[in-house]
Amino acid sequence: MKKVISTTKAPGAIGPYSQAIEVNGTLYISGQVPVDPATGKVVEGGVKEQTEQVMKNIAAILDEAGYTFADVVKSTCLLSDMSNFATMNEIYGSYYKENPPARAAFAVKELPLSVLVEIETIAVK
């Protein structure tokens, strides 16, 4: 059965999608951008600060659904510029010290709200 996951500790959806959907023990988290849920604004700073906020947003959704980063099996990282990859990778990697998930990373022409990074996540129990 499909269950919609939503928390005020992560940015609300800005379109016709859910923060996350859980079905059959799998959690699909929509791409998270570096919006601070307290202010509704993109965090100030560069890719380091933006990646930190994205990971905090993912953590909040995982927690709301009863999952942890240890349950994450796949991530897709979207970057506005591949020159930001090393910094994003360093922050991202700090959340997956053991048994990191499978991952893809792409540079795209543009991201919502002109952010530098967006990450979508899949977790399984």
CA-to-CA distance for 73 and 125, rounded, in angstroms?
Answer: 10
Find out whether 18 and 6 touch, Cβ atoms under 8 Å.
yes
> Which range marks the domain in which residue 101 is found?
3-124
Residue 13 sits in a domain whose CATH number is 3.30.1330.40
pLDDT tens-digit readout, 24-58? 999 999 999 999 999 999 999 999 999 999 999 99
pLDDT digits (tens, 9 = 90+) for 62-80: 999 999 999 999 999 999 9
Judge if pTM exceeds 0.75: yes
Q: How many domains does the chain have?
A: 1
- Tokens for 94? 């700090």
What is the separation, in whole angstroms, between the first and last Cα of the chain?
15
